[in-house]
Chains A and B, each alone.
Chain A
């Protein structure tokens, strides 16, 4: 049965700006869905206000509307496109579903004769209305935790009295667990209850008896219109019930489930999906399992849409859930679709893994001073990484190495806690570092039973940790010379980095690398193929591992490698790792364009990244995907294997850029701007010399390495001062100080956090206007792609400022200075590729704040606003395929485009919402206005100074 031929034009709703709980996984799912529908010749119309996404690129959909996600926009789009037959609301998270429901309630879909596909409204209502959901579950015999609904404060109190503590409060119709909390202490109940009632749009909360410590699982399902259901992936949360699944360390496949219990869970999941409604598409079901002999299974929730977990499940298994879900929504059945990986077998099957994946969330508590760092029912992480290995231990190590928090893995870096009380406290109150603290606890000799008692983490995982500890102890008995091949291989198989082994043996990382290469212990690459090698797979999606040898009948020994190196010229694009504040989806946009442009130039493209939420880690973005930590050792081994022409580092944000020095040192060619130039821009001293030579003004500044030096410097520069560490991201640790006391305490605190850092002190230009320019330079010519003016005054991080493209009140004289400076600096830095320069404008003089010869946060925004593929152009320039003058630039924009930051402060109720030089926003949206009389602009402008903190 082929697809429905009455669907010719489909509207997809995106998820809007990135916020905690709804991140770039929906860029991934939306992009897949768009591609999937277009494959079938369907006209696609997209609405999404997030300019940093790939999905909103003109190449992704037939018509892209970068408009606010509200029913007004929907009506306008439906008027423009009366031929839209259906809306697919399941690819844009809860935001899209909520908008779809609102439009449905207003009768909009009916008015325009638009069918909702991929879900039915009743199903959404059932799953979101906890009372209805509960009734239904009890009706079909699926167990639920004791629970009751409160629509008033009084009712809530009554329920608490009946159930006793601990309790869980969840607000209805909210995202990422907003308004949810676990209440241990009856005294805190009143406040948390009111908070929950407040944040729920229908002022309703569910109160559950807490199933603390129960094991937690998630199943990802797909169903077609013939009611065929398959389970794509079972994910086990290492952190048991009590921590939001988005904040939990999760593992696939499920590690500690017997077939009997798993099959019961599978039956329940299918039964649940069938009972909530009749629709074709994806679905996510969460369960809790009692950690005792009974193995009782209880349903937690069901989401009739693709989710963060389905993005993870797609990357974990290779099965593209969103792509297939979109096909099912237009009427295909699973049995008539191909497995997208093998291309020879059926899509109606359940992937099987011969490896393990571990997902670890990435938090940014450092950005929210005063925030509650405890993990609980409300999601707080801003991104995630996934590690793939041939064992849980290897995957766990690779995930920890992917986090980019200056850890090399578990243990063996001298950074662990050694104090008993601290460790016990950190085990008891889970936060971002518990994954490391468990190892510290074992190192200190705290019994596993005790760790289990406190954390409720399944003993199997703890035993795996313990094995790592035993191995570390064993290795530490040797030296680099005396360590045996068998032991070194075992350490590598369990994911220990060369650096960690070097720490254990007290030698250099390079010595470990040399020893293992000599012993032929080399990284090999294995395929993610959905079928554990049962069938030949066609998709080049790899991860690395270490394996035992194989001997052919003629006595030749080798280690099996699935990644065959081709003869083609290759380019490696380094990805930007986990999303975090200051480095988000915009860099994934740049990386994807870098890959596509390199492919256009005839290169085989190789992507290295470890973020499962992204389009860059989709298996059909690059010619080869290495799902690996953006960590020196892994990257270098891939480069040794592939021997690329060079590596593009300027598209993957600070993550990729940081590796430029080492790459350069090891003789790997950096494509585009050289390491020396990157370094020159970063080194404040040399950079200001360069500015001086070019007669470009900059705020007075100095470098200090101690509080004493800083205080002396302050006398020279005068207050207010902008203090910041060097080589950091998104203004981390950056602060404006107005007196010596502030300065001293800030410097002391910074140097404690980042020892040996060179701190930069700038004279802060009070009341200045901030602007920035992005440009492409080929070393000879410079083309300025856009100049943006910040609405807020200088002092608020550029990522947190509202900004307009083009500037709204800079005079010709100032603009000319900006243009001149940009060109001079780009050329002086020998930029080949992109450059972003930030300016402070005071009294008609343009000062340089900083220059970054790399893709910036604003490049995707400008590309979207002007409708031009700037990253594509810049990549071709970097590769030397094109010169700036080869392009016909033709930016199109009537009026202004305003970049509006979006914050996730609601997840951190006690955090100061003041803005300053340290970035706090999680996402952004774009707003087009015709002129400056627009109300939105007026609002922003009138409030511009309100949030500035010093």
Chain B
């Protein structure tokens, strides 16, 4: 492949600021979404396919993206979930004997528009200082006014319900149906690696759509419940919150991750709020208050649980704190086998430090069965 000229492209932010770059591949394109950044240095494919990123324009801060191509197995859902991609250097050439495609091929299969050669560091600093906002990436560099108009049509992430867009339409079963432990999982954007982690520990999981009722979820007489991660604002998820409230009455172990953690809080009457620009990366420090130990965790959330309300709540206890900004990273219900974390113990991408939370869930299930 000889020297190639790339098309000019830009990212236009809601407030009118423009960052210039080039289009990835030889395509024209335009994509809208809320711009956010992820600081992970590995795991781009897992990030792009994570349903929690639905509707986001992803800025990858790592200097090179695509170096090791794409692998059929290293996905967190069946398709790319981000709305668009912004990178500094895009690797058209990759190197990994085990890869199935180049990243470019993977993006093309999923029809994802991406731009490169943007001063991503300046863009991240800008979002850091001015907060997450909607934006458009496009090759239509001469139609800025039109893009501005179109951008105003994009709804704000605050108050946006997105779980319905990524959830399964019908219930399905994952794992060994003969397994001794049965878990009912509410899919509001579940990552595959959560299912792998649950199944690996000897559970059969029935996965229910975002609007399933407690009654529907109890139909299979599960031993425990799981509320998944997912995209968007937790507050509009009235069905999931109501279902969780009902499930809590069953007095069975319940584990929530990320959006599921926020839903659990909301089900307990605790409010959530939109963060300035969220936590997205695989190097986030968490302190486990119960053990005094630290964990490096994978995170991806733009909303968080209100700390004061949680501290004042008679039935709740904060178990984990984010060490950088002291936000609530984990809660549990006192005297019950119900707990949740704001981060991603299933990693993928990211470190396995919080793996023990799945073990803890299974110990609780086993204890409740005896």
A217 to B20, CA, bound (A): 35
Find out whether the CB atom of B62 lies under 8 angstroms from the CB atom of A253.
yes
B43 at the interface (CB under 8 A from A): yes
Using CB atoms, name the residue of chain A closest to B13: A553
A463 to B69, CA, bound (A): 14
Q: Which of B199-243 contact A (CB under 8 A)?
A: none
Q: Mark B21-47, 1 if CB is under 8 A from A, else 0.
A: 100000000000000010111110010
Distance from A621 Cβ to chain B, minimum over Cβ atoms (Å)? 24
Q: State whether the Cβ of B167 lies closer than 8 Å to any Cβ in chain A.
A: no
1/0 per position for B64-97, CB-CB distance to A under 8 A?
1001100100100000000000001101011111
Cβ-defined contact, B3 with A292, below 8 A = no
Whole-angstrom distance from the CB of B322 to the nearest CB of chain A?
9
Q: Would you call the interface of chain B mostly helix, strand, loop, or mixed?
A: loop
Q: Please, which residue of chain A has its CB at the minimum distance from the CB of B95? A: A460
B340 within 8 A of A: no
Whole-angstrom distance between the Cβ of A30 and the nearest chain B Cβ: 27
For B124, the chain A residues whose CB sits under 8 A away are 354, 532-534
**In the complex, what distance in Å separates the CA atom of A346 from the CA atom of B279?**
14
Considering the complex of A and B, which 5 residue pairs feature the smallest CB-CB distances, nearest first?
A553-B16, A259-B43, A560-B122, A460-B95, A532-B61
Q: Is A390 an interface residue (CB 8 A)?
A: yes
Report how far A560 CA is from B283 CA in the complex, Å: 26
Report the minimum CB–CB distance from A560 to chain B (whole Å): 3
Kindly list chain A residues whose C-beta atoms are within 8 Å of the C-beta of B41.
234, 253-254, 352-353
Chain B interface, number of residues (Cβ within 8 angstroms): 63
Q: Is the CB of B61 within 8 A of A533?
A: yes
B349 within 8 A of A: yes
Q: Quick check: which of B267-275, B288-296, B310-318 contacts chain A, the rest being far away?
A: B288-296
Hey, what's the 0/1 contact readout for A215-237 against B, CB within 8 Å counting as 1?
00000000000111011001000
Chain B residues with CB under 8 A of A291: 97
B169 within 8 A of A: no
- Is residue A111 contacting chain B, with contact meaning CB distance below 8 A? no
Residues of B participating in the A interface, judged by any CB pair closer than 8 Å: 1-3, 5, 15-21, 37, 39-43, 46, 61-64, 67-68, 71, 74, 88-89, 91, 93-98, 117-122, 124-125, 128, 281-285, 287, 292-294, 296, 323-325, 347-352
Q: A348-B287, A354-B61 are in contact. List 8 more A-B contacts (CB 8 A).
A: A230-B294, A259-B40, A263-B352, A391-B88, A486-B5, A493-B117, A548-B117, A550-B19
A460 to B91, CA, bound (A): 9
Interface string of A461-487 (1 = CB under 8 A from B): 001100100110110000000000010
Q: Is there contact, CB below 8 Å, between A352 and B283? A: yes
Specify which chain B residues have a CB less than 8 angstroms from the CB of A548 in the assembled complex.
19-21, 117-119
Q: How far is the CA of A334 from the CA of B323 in the complex (A)?
A: 10
Name the one of B37, B40, B98 contacting A293, with C-beta atoms under 8 angstroms.
B98
Of B46, B125, B284, most buried by chain A (CB within 10 Å of CB) is B125
Chain A residues with Cβ under 8 A from B46's Cβ? Answer: 259
A522 at the interface (CB under 8 A from B): no
**A350 and B283 within 8 A (CB):** yes
A459:B93 contact, CB within 8 angstroms: yes
Q: Is the CB of A258 within 8 A of B296?
A: no
> Given A230, A355, A467, A471, which contacts B296 in the complex, CB threshold below 8 Å?
A230
A458 and B122 contacting across the interface, CB-CB below 8 Å = no
A-B contact pairs, 27 of them (CB 8 A): A228-B293, A256-B68, A257-B42, A258-B42, A258-B74, A258-B98, A259-B42, A263-B350, A345-B325, A350-B296, A354-B39, A354-B61, A354-B124, A390-B89, A391-B64, A391-B88, A392-B63, A470-B3, A474-B2, A493-B117, A526-B121, A533-B124, A533-B125, A533-B128, A548-B117, A550-B119, A552-B16
Instruction: Give the residue name and chain of the B residue nearest to A391 (CB).
Output: B89
* Interface presence of A4 (CB below 8 A): no
Check: A112 CB closer than 8 A to any chain B CB.
no
Give residues of chain A (253-269) contacting chain B, Cβ–Cβ below 8 Å: 253-260, 262-263, 266-267
Contact B67 A255 (CB under 8 A): yes
> Which residue of chain B lies nearest to A234 when distances are taken between CB atoms in the complex?
B41
Residues of B within 8 A of A266 (CB): 351-352
A549 at the interface (CB under 8 A from B): yes
A493 CB contacts on chain B under 8 angstroms: 117
Contact A348 to B62, CB < 8 A, known contacts A354-B120, A459-B95, A548-B21: no
List of A residues within 8 angstroms of B350 by Cβ: 259, 263
Interface assignment of A349: CB less than 8 Å from any CB of chain B: yes
Closest-CB distance, A125 to chain B (whole angstroms) = 28
Residues of B within 8 A of A458 (CB): 95
Contact A259 B74 (CB under 8 A): yes
Contacting residues of chain A (557-598) with chain B, CB-CB under 8 angstroms: 559-560, 562
Interface size on A, residues (CB 8 A): 70
Are the C-beta atoms of B63 and A258 separated by less than 8 Å?
no
Q: A263-B347, A295-B98 are in contact. Are A535 and B324 (CB under 8 A)?
A: yes
Q: How far is the CB of A105 from chain B (nearest CB, A)?
A: 35
Cα–Cα distance between A291 and B97 once the two chains are bound (Å): 7
Which residues of A come within 8 Å of B, CB atoms? 226-228, 230-231, 234, 253-260, 262-263, 266-267, 291-295, 333-335, 344-346, 348-356, 390-392, 458-460, 463-464, 467, 470-471, 473-474, 486, 493, 526, 531-536, 547-553, 559-560, 562
On chain B, the residues within 8 Å of A230 by CB distance are 294, 296
Are B94 and A551 interface neighbours, CB within 8 A?
no
Say whether B61 contacts A550, CB under 8 Å.
no
Interface residues of A: mostly helix, strand, loop or mixed?
A: loop
Specify the chain B residue showing the minimal Cβ separation from A228.
Answer: B294
Knowing A349-B285, A353-B62, A548-B118 are in contact, say whether A258-B96 is a contact too (CB < 8 A).
yes
- The interface residues of chain B lying within 8 Å CB-to-CB of A350 are 282-283, 296, 351
Judging by beta carbons under 8 Å apart, are B39 and A335 in contact?
no
Chain A contacts for B1, CB-based, 8 A: 470
Q: How far is the CB of B319 from chain A (nearest CB, A)?
A: 15
A654 CA to B91 CA in the complex, in Å?
A: 40
B324 touches A460 (CB 8 A): no
Whether A263 and B117, one on each chain, are in contact in the complex, defined by CB atoms closer than 8 angstroms, is no
Partner of A463, one of B95, B282, B287: B95
Q: A255-B67, A354-B63, A460-B95 given as contacts; is B37 within 8 A of A534 (CB)?
A: yes
Does the CB pair B63–A353 fall under 8 Å?
yes
Q: Is the CB of B119 within 8 A of A258?
A: no
Question: What residues of A have a CB within 8 angstroms of the CB of B21 in the complex?
Answer: 548
Contact partner of B283 (CB less than 8 A), chosen from A349, A356, A463, is: A349
Asked if B285 contacts A352 (CB within 8 A), the reply is no
If A226-B293, A391-B88, A550-B119 touch, whether A258 touches B40 (CB-CB below 8 Å) is no
B285 x A534 contact (CB < 8 A): no
Asked whether A346 lies within 8 Å of B324 as measured between CB atoms, the reply is yes
Chain B residue at minimal CB-CB distance from A550: B19
Choice from A257, A258, A353 contacting B71 with Cβ under 8 Å:
A258
Is B61 within 8 A of A460, CB to CB? no
Task: Output the least CB separation between B38 and chain A (Å).
Answer: 9
Contacts of A551 in B (CB 8 A): 17-20
Contacts of A335 in B (CB 8 A): 285, 287, 294, 323
Q: Is the CB of B294 within 8 A of A348?
A: yes
A560 to B285, Cβ gap below 8 A?
no
Using Cβ atoms and an 8 Å threshold, which residues of chain A touch B293?
Answer: 226-228
Q: In the complex, what distance in Å separates the CA atom of A709 from the CA atom of B120?
A: 60
Q: Which residues of A contact B348 (CB under 8 A)?
A: 259-260
Chain A residues with CB below 8 A from B352, complex form: 263, 266-267
Residue of B nearest to A350 (CB): B283
Q: How far is the CA of A260 from the CA of B346 in the complex (A)?
A: 12
Chain A residues whose CB sits within 8 angstroms of the CB of B292 once the complex forms: 226
Do B63 and A356 touch across chains, with their CB atoms under 8 A apart? yes
Give, as a whole number of angstroms, the nearest-CB distance from B346 to chain A. 12
Which residue of A356, A474, A547, A553 is within 8 Å of B3 (Cβ)?
A474
Looking at the assembled complex, report how far the CB atom of A527 sits from the nearest CB atom of chain B, in whole angstroms.
8
Q: In whole angstroms, what is the CA distance A656 to B125 when docked?
A: 35
Residue contact A460 to B67, C-beta cutoff 8 Å: yes
Which residues of A sit under 8 angstroms from B68, Cβ to Cβ? 256-258, 460
Q: Which residue of A lies closest to B99 (CB)?
A: A258
A352 touches B61 (CB 8 A): yes
By beta carbon, the residue of chain A nearest B63 is A356
For residue B117, which residues in chain A have a CB less than 8 angstroms away from its CB?
493, 548
